[in-house]
Structure 1
Amino acid sequence: MTVGVDVDLALVGGGGAASLVLAALGRENLSGVRVAIVDPVHKRGQDRTWAFWGTPGTALDPLLSASWNAVDVVTPAARRTLPLSPLRYAMLRSGPLYDLAGDAEKRLDAIRIAAPAGALTDDGDRVVVSHPDGTPLVRAAWVLDSRPRRPARPGRTNWLQHFRGWWLESGRPVFDPGRAVLMDFRTPQPPRGVSFGYVLPVSDRFALVEYTEFSPAVLSGDAYDAALRGYAALLGLDLATLTVREVENGVIPMTDGVFETRPSPRVVRLGTAGGATRASTGFTFTAMVRQAGRIAGEVAAGRPPLPGPPYPARHRWMDAVQLRALDRGLVDGVAFFDRLFDRNPAQRVLRFLDGTTSLAEDLTLMASSPLLPMARAAGGDALARLRRKR
């Protein structure tokens, strides 16, 4: 098999996960590392928004559209304002990240191959990335593959985080730029699942207002729009005086299925395909940032670009139990999240969702959840695991 392009590292896919890796590689003082990107589309501009929490002072700070030191969690009974210090909640739109990745691509003198990728043929020494028609595109020592794919082993519980957001613009001040809404559970709840709205204001006249569900199936476009109109009314917004500047949609898997993060010796999967999506919520971005930083550090040190597990094994188990409890109706979703934030500091909950809490903190979080229903869910999960092994 003859391949004209030979590199050290090939990125297959050019979305958020690959862009974060490129940006991280660009921050390292790399010399002689040959990089290629294989993707039919060169990502540019605004096609998505990431909202995440973390400690200020990162390399992504100059790219942020907004950040908040406190957030609101709202239920039909109460509104809580949660201080986040030393963390903060932040918004990053895709355009600045794609631009940063593009700058890094130039500094690295990376090769861009504008074609879809098909098979990855790994002989244990090099990997050949081929076009779907079988034509070889590039040969690499290592391949980082961020293309979406299903779990290698189907989950016992399979839900989705699915959403639609409107970027709303007003001719007069209607938003509070100092106040973000993390979760607003006053939305009508689905028969099976959890719904909430949230608000991320960039200024007093421009904000992202979004409707999100954790549930087994997506809605129709009309249903998302109806939900957003209803949520806007709850917020006291008069849509007749506002302009919808952009619309964002998304569907993210929430599953206890197992993703194959290392399908062959020299192929590493990133993003959702690499297990970066938190099964209990669908949150992904912070784990992708960690993956990118670890990969860049390993490459700079002359070691294999292996990011390590995105979450501790105990967190994957806790997620599976929570999903099962929600799916089987053992707990009420709104009451579950309300109790979690009521009985724990916001920082602990958010760090758990990021996969950075200690074992002691995890035990405290478990003790603050409804014990009998969660014990039933844990028992059911253990039984399901045993049955699958037979």
Structure 2
Amino acid sequence: MRSPVDVDLALVGGGGAASLVLAALGREEPGVRVAIVDPVHKRGQDRTWAFWGTPGTALDPLLSASWDEVDVVTPGGRRVLPLRPLRYAMLRSAPLYELAGAAEQKLGAVRITAPAGGVADDGERVVIAGPDGTPLVRAAWALDSRPRKPRRPGRTNWLQHFRGWWLEADAPTFEPGRAVLMDFRTPQPARGVSFGYVLPVSDRFALVEYTEFSPVVLGGDAYDEALRNYAGLLGLDLTALRVREVEDGVIPMTDGPFDPRPSPRVVRLGTAGGATRPSTGFTFSAMVRQADQIARAVAAGRPPVPSPPYPARHRWMDAVQLRALDRGLVDGVAFFDRLFDRNPPDRVLRFLDGTTSVAEDLTLMSSSPLLPMMRAAAGDAAGRARAAVRSGARRQAR
């Protein structure tokens, strides 16, 4: 039997979160031994990330497009949101995977193209085994980005689920300087919120997507039908356009807690580590922050443990918002429209990104419909109290 590879840092899973960590380690060049354990070596275009932030980052050369203003559209009209000093940006997966691959070579990392099974942590080393129990890697630390369910079910469990078409035209069709962040003119589900958006790369190529925040995914051809209807709202003639690529996704929106540190030397990243914002499903910016913090820590000889992706107060605010939407206490379209109407765009976007101050959070809370949100907060508090009583009863039963 071959001995397991001995390294300082093992990445379990090789998707977006791991690629960002590799890219950040490549910039820092910390001189540590690295291994990647994943059954698939990610390459090419398999997803698109859209996010906001300030220009001048290490990812800027990889961007497909960016915008200094975006539109939010409701049945009542169109609102243009100036974003400076922020910008909204699009990053496709291929250039990130290429950058991660180059960093992998620079670091002399070992890649093990196999699925990981058990991750056993004895407090001093972590052994990553294959599905059959064969040890593959022994590491000082493991960063695990494989999808995981929350530690316990949430009181509210929604999903962000979507399908996007990359549309190509022979003649100028799209406005490359103008992105649509949310277009709420789509038919709204009985329980949830839907919207479309448009991210143009050029005047002849754009991502047009239909998204829902709701408890269950759609079935059959419902996403394609929704996209056809949304294209009609945009005035697009689909007979004159080609669908070059299709992107699908399902992202958890839940107040169930994820466990970012399941054992002393195992750190979870991405959605499994709590990087997904429960109220919106946005994940990418938090993954970037985690990756940069990990790389700097490793370079300084510190444990590769990033800060929590979002402040505790934001997780509470997300839980209250999800509850208000789920129980029908607020109208989803009106809620988001009011949020953008009563706050500067950069404040809303920084809140959704988890970087606003306490004072800004209080201002945002005061701009929401107070009575429904107070009812949602009271319900959330009651749910937390009941959960604490049940947890205490289980401990006593042991």
- TM above 0.5, yes or no, is yes
Structure 1 residue 154: Cα displacement: 1.0
1:96-111 equivalences in 2 (<5 Å): 96-111=95-110
AA paired with 1:5? V
Structure 1 residue 375: Cα displacement: 0.1
Please name the residue that 2:215 is paired with: 216
- Asked whether the 8 Å contact 1:65–1:92 carries over to 2, the reply is yes
Q: How many Å separate the matches in 2 of 1:310 and 1:40? A: 27
Q: How many Å separate the matches in 2 of 1:361 and 1:30? A: 37
Q: How many Å separate the matches in 2 of 1:115 and 1:178? A: 43
Structure 1 residue 147: Cα displacement: 0.2
Question: SS at 2:319's partner residue?
Answer: helix
- Asked whether the 8 Å contact 1:40–1:116 carries over to 2, the reply is yes
Structure 1 residue 132: Cα displacement: 1.1
AA paired with 2:246? V
Q: How many Å separate the matches in 1 of 2:120 and 2:316? A: 33
> Are 1:248 and 2:251 matched, yes or no?
no
AA paired with 1:226? E
> Are 1:116 and 2:115 matched, yes or no?
yes
Deviation larger for 354-363 or 220-229: 220-229
Please name the residue that 1:155 is paired with: 154
Please name the residue that 2:233 is paired with: 234
Q: Which runs of 5+ in 1 are unaligned?
A: none
- Asked whether the 8 Å contact 2:325–2:331 carries over to 1, the reply is yes
> Are 1:21 and 2:21 matched, yes or no?
yes
Question: SS at 1:380's partner residue?
Answer: helix
AA paired with 1:278? R
Question: SS at 1:245's partner residue?
Answer: strand
Q: How many Å separate the matches in 2 of 1:221 and 1:47? A: 22
AA paired with 2:228? R
Q: How many Å separate the matches in 2 of 1:17 and 1:340? A: 30
Question: SS at 1:129's partner residue?
Answer: strand
Structure 1 residue 275: Cα displacement: 0.2
RMSD value, Cα: 0.8
Structure 1 residue 4: Cα displacement: 3.0
Structure 1 residue 153: Cα displacement: 1.5
Please name the residue that 2:396 is paired with: none
AA paired with 1:68? W
- Asked whether the 8 Å contact 1:143–1:266 carries over to 2, the reply is yes
> Are 1:8 and 2:4 matched, yes or no?
no
Structure 1 residue 29: Cα displacement: 3.1
1:110-153 CA deviation, whole Å, 9 max, x = no partner?
A: 00000000111111000000001101000000000000010011
Please name the residue that 2:353 is paired with: 354
1:160-171 equivalences in 2 (<5 Å): 160-171=159-170
Alignment length, in residue pairs? 389
Question: SS at 2:244's partner residue?
Answer: strand
AA paired with 1:366? M
Structure 1 residue 75: Cα displacement: 0.1
1:1-390 equivalences in 2 (<5 Å): 3-31=3-31, 33-390=32-389
Percent sequence identity is 83
Q: How many Å separate the matches in 1 of 2:157 and 2:301? A: 39
- Asked whether the 8 Å contact 2:29–2:107 carries over to 1, the reply is no
1:154-203 CA deviation, whole Å, 9 max, x = no partner?
A: 10000000000000000000100000000000000000000000000000
1:31-72 CA deviation, whole Å, 9 max, x = no partner?
A: 2x0000000100000000000000000000000000000000
- Asked whether the 8 Å contact 1:3–1:139 carries over to 2, the reply is no
Q: How many Å separate the matches in 1 of 2:312 and 2:69? A: 30
Q: How many Å separate the matches in 2 of 1:107 and 1:214? A: 41
Question: SS at 1:347's partner residue?
Answer: helix
Question: SS at 1:294's partner residue?
Answer: helix
Please name the residue that 2:394 is paired with: none
Q: How many Å separate the matches in 2 of 1:5 and 1:340? A: 51
- Asked whether the 8 Å contact 1:6–1:138 carries over to 2, the reply is yes
